[in-house]
Structures are given as C-alpha cells and as structure tokens.
Amino acid sequence: MVRQQSRKKCPDWPRTLYSEAVCAACHEMWSNTFATFNADCNAERFRNDKFRKCLDHFTDRSEPVDNKFP
C-alpha cells in the first residue's frame, strides 16, 4: 500500500521508499521513547529535523554531512 501511494505522490519513488525505510528503522530503535517517530520522520516529504537526525545515524561519520535534502 505504501509503495503504491509513494509512486502516485512522488515521481522519485525509489528515493521515497528508501527514506521510508530509514524512518522505519529509526522508529524501531526509538518507538519506546518517541511513539510518533515514524510519522514525524515522514512529515513534509522527509524535509524535517527528525529525518535528518535519523539519517545521521546511518551516515559515515568520517565525511562531513550536508543536512540539506537533495
């Protein structure tokens, strides 16, 4: 269901699916503390601080991180 909705709403749906997976992984880690983490992370098409902070956990720290959404 999510994949079909993503394809309709966003022409770049592979990136959307990847972003949804990142948010889901972070939700699994922090849902006991932040119950609405997945919804907050997905908000505004992933252009928010929760998504950026979540993505930072999966980013190689040896390189500087540009927190702007491409």
CB-based burial of residue 3 (10 Å sphere; 0-12 exposed, 13-18 middle, 19+ buried)? exposed
Instruction: Give 37's DSSP letter.
Output: H
Model-level pTM greater than 0.85?
no
| Per-residue confidence (pLDDT) for residue 70, from 0 to 100 | 41
Instruction: Reply yes or no on whether the pLDDT at 69 is more than 50.
Output: no
| pLDDT tens digits, 14-26 | 888 999 999 999 9
Enumerate the domain spans of the chain: 2-56
DSSP output for 7-26: HHH-TTHHHHHHHHHHHHHH
- Across 38-65, b (16+ Cβ under 10 Å) vs e yields bebbbeeebeeebbbebbeeeeeeeeee
Q: How confident is the model at residue 12 (pLDDT cuts 50, 70, 90)?
A: confident
Q: How confident is the model over 26-67, as pLDDT tens digits? A: 999 999 999 999 999 999 989 999 999 999 988 876 666 565
